[in-house]
């Protein structure tokens, strides 16, 4: 439902299906008082409430647009909070609202007009998003004087994000909690350095040349896990850093690749553990959800073939069939490794029989294809 131009001049009860209020719908109605627009109302047209000198208005969270001169000369308005749904406020929207004391403009508003508050009272307090800071010199009075939204009547608002605190360790300083604005980048609460000397727990280099893990300023010989040293995670066992550890280590949540005691969080590829075998690692962690082909330079150097088939994260040396990788497509796999020498028909329990040339599926094959293996097993090649 839409209320049209100069629809009526007295108080009206709005229906719940109201979508917009048309241009000049209540213009000049001095008797209309409290108006609580229903949820679902999206637009207040130009001049809609101009000159409604007894008006009190409440905006629903569905309003998107306030038209030009919508509340011009609404002298009874005293405090307005524009909801975050509004994206556009027209020129002179609140001009000459001389009783207006406070108004909040949300960050959702995309435009600005220097006439929004033309000829309002000088003690008006405006809560203004920080991205409009360059427009604080906003409007002229009726005498042409350039009025300023100064620190006395313009309060800049920010979109805050919390900068989480960082606890100090024996080797690194920490930081207190802070905050900054995601829009303008202004630091609102600066993080303060917590000196590393204040740490009571963490990794510490002892006088005997051993890195040990401390809890409450005492060596924690029961500690097994990772601890940070200068931004890198290292593996501690029985309270001491183990530079000799290479393989996989479970920290209670993930299996990590460890090289010389260091958590190798940047590694992606196949990796080996003497007790667990070969596994596919993504950003340092075993990826148990990985199925398909994976490449490893170490296996290429050792066995002459770097592409191998992985099932549920584990290299499957017993796999015979077809395997896929997004960078090279579908290939014949024999004993877990990509078989680039194979030409003929190849079978996969999930995909069936396919024509393969030099190891890769040829999808544009049409017609008869001979396979010696099928001939020997079925009599028909």
Nearest CA-CA partner of 133 in 108, 150, 116: 150
Residue 361's Cα: distance from chain center in Å? 39
Q: Does 57 fall in a domain?
A: yes
Rounded CA separation 322/336 (Å): 10
- Range of 127-141, 251-265, 324-338 with top mean pLDDT: 251-265
Is 60 inside a domain boundary?
yes
Higher pLDDT, 108 or 305: 108
In a shared domain, residues 137 and 58: yes
Q: Are residues 125 and 178 in the same domain?
A: no
C-alpha radius of gyration, the chain, whole number: 36
Residue 168 is predicted with a pLDDT of 84
pLDDT(41) > 80: yes
Residue 358 and residue 329 in contact, taking contact as beta carbons nearer than 8 Å: no
Q: Report whether 270 contacts 248 (CB < 8 A).
A: no
Is residue 279 in some structural domain?
Answer: no
pLDDT at 381 (0 to 100): 43
> SS3 of 133, please?
helix
Question: Once rounded to an integer, what is the mean pLDDT over residues 327-332?
Answer: 89
Alpha carbon distance 2, 44 (integer Å): 10
Predicted pLDDT at 369: 63
What pLDDT score does 102 carry?
92
Same domain, 172 and 252: yes
209-223 pLDDT per residue, tens: 899 999 988 999 999
CATH code (residue 73): 3.80.10.10
pLDDT of residue 181: 92
| Across 227-246, average pLDDT | 94
* Domain end point (choices 157, 178, 209): 157
Cα atoms in the Cβ-side hemisphere of radius 13 Å centred on 61: 1
175/194 same-domain check: yes
Element (H, E) at 372: helix 372-378
Q: What is the pLDDT of residue 16?
A: 65
On whether both 23 and 130 belong to a single domain, the answer is: yes
Q: Note the pLDDT of residue 158.
A: 87
pLDDT, mean over the chain = 85
Query: Do residues 205 and 86 both lie within one domain?
Result: no
In this structure, are 36 and 85 located in the same domain? yes
Per-residue pLDDT of 275-311, as tens digits, reads 999 999 999 999 999 999 998 887 777 777 789 999 9
Least confident of 15-29, 124-138, 182-196: 124-138
Q: Give yes or no: residues 22 and 141 share one domain.
A: yes
User: pLDDT (tens digit, 9 = 90+) per residue, 243-271?
Assistant: 999 999 999 999 999 999 999 999 998 99
What is the number of structural domains in the chain?
A: 3
325 with 306, same domain?
yes
Q: 301 lies in a domain? A: yes
* Final residue of a structural domain among 124, 157, 190: 157
User: Looking at the domain assignment, is residue 270 inside a domain?
Assistant: no
**Residue 337: inside a domain, yes or no?**
yes
Residue 157 pLDDT more than 70? yes
pLDDT of residue 211: 94
Alpha-carbon span 347 to 316, nearest angstrom:
17
**228, 358, 375, 378 from 365: Cα distances, Å:** 56, 14, 20, 22
Q: Which of 128, 33, 52, 142 is nearest to 97 (CA)?
A: 52
146 and 41 share a domain?
Answer: yes
* One domain for residues 109 and 246: no
Tell me how far apart the alpha carbons of residues 34 and 369 are, in angstroms, rounded to a whole number. 84
**Residue 368 pLDDT:** 60
Strand 344-348 and strand 352-357: the pairing is antiparallel
Query: At residue 153, does pLDDT exceed 90?
Result: no
Question: Could you tell me the residue range of the domain that residue 244 belongs to?
Answer: 162-263
Q: For residue 376, give every residue at least 6 positions away whose Cβ sits within 8 Å of its Cβ, in sequence order, or none.
A: none
- How far apart, in whole angstroms, are the C-alpha atoms of residue 376 and residue 2? 81
Same domain, yes or no: 83 and 195: no
Q: Indicate the residue among 229, 263, 297 that finishes a domain.
A: 263
In a domain, 273, yes or no: no
Residue 282 lies in a domain: no
pLDDT over 90, % of the chain = 50
pLDDT, residue 352, reads: 79
């Amino acid at each position: 439902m839409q209320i049209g131009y100069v629809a009526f001049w007295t108080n009206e009860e709005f229906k719940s299906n109201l979508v917009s209020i048309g241009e000049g719908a209540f213009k000049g109605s001095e008797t209309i008082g409290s108006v609580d627009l229903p949820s679902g109302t999206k637009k207040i047209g130009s001049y809609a409430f101009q000159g409604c000198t007894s008006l009190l208005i409440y905006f629903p969270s569905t309003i998107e647009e306030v038209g030009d001169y919508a509340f011009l000369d609404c002298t009874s308005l005293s405090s307005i909070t524009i909801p975050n749904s509004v994206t556009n406020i027209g020129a002179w929207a609140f001009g000459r609202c001389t009783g207006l004391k406070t108004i909040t403009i949300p960050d959702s508003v995309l435009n600005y007009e220097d006439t929004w508050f033309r000829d309002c009272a000088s003690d008006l307090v405006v809560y203004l998003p920080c991205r409009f800071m360059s427009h604080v010199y906003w409007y002229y009075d009726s005498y042409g004087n350039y009025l300023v939204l100064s620190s006395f009547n313009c309060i800049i608002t920010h979109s805050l994000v919390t900068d989480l605190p960082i606890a100090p360790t024996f080797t690194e300083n920490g930081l207190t909690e802070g905050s900054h604005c995601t829009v303008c980048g202004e630091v609102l609460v600066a993080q303060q350095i917590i000196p590393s000397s204040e740490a009571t727990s963490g990794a510490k280099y002892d006088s005997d040349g051993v890195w040990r893990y401390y809890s409450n300023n005492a060596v924690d010989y029961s500690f097994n896990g990772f601890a940070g040293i200068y931004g890198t995670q290292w593996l501690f066992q029985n309270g001491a850093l183990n530079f000799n550890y290479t393989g996989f280590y479970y920290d209670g949540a993930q299996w990590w690749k460890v090289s010389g005691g260091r958590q190798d969080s940047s590694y992606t590829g196949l990796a080996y553990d003497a007790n667990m075998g070969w596994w596919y690692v993504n950003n340092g962690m075993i990826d148990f959800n990985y199925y398909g082909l994976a490449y490893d330079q170490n296996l290429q150097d050792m066995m002459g073939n770097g592409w191998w088939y992985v099932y549920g994260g584990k290299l499957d040396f017993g796999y015979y069939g077809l395997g896929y990788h997004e960078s090279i497509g579908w290939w014949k796999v024999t004993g877990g490794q990509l078989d680039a020498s194979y030409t003929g028909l190849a079978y996969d329990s999930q995909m069936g029989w396919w024509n393969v040339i030099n190891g890769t599926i040829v999808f544009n094959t049409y017609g008869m294809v001979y396979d010696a293996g099928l001939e020997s097993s079925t009599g028909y090649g």
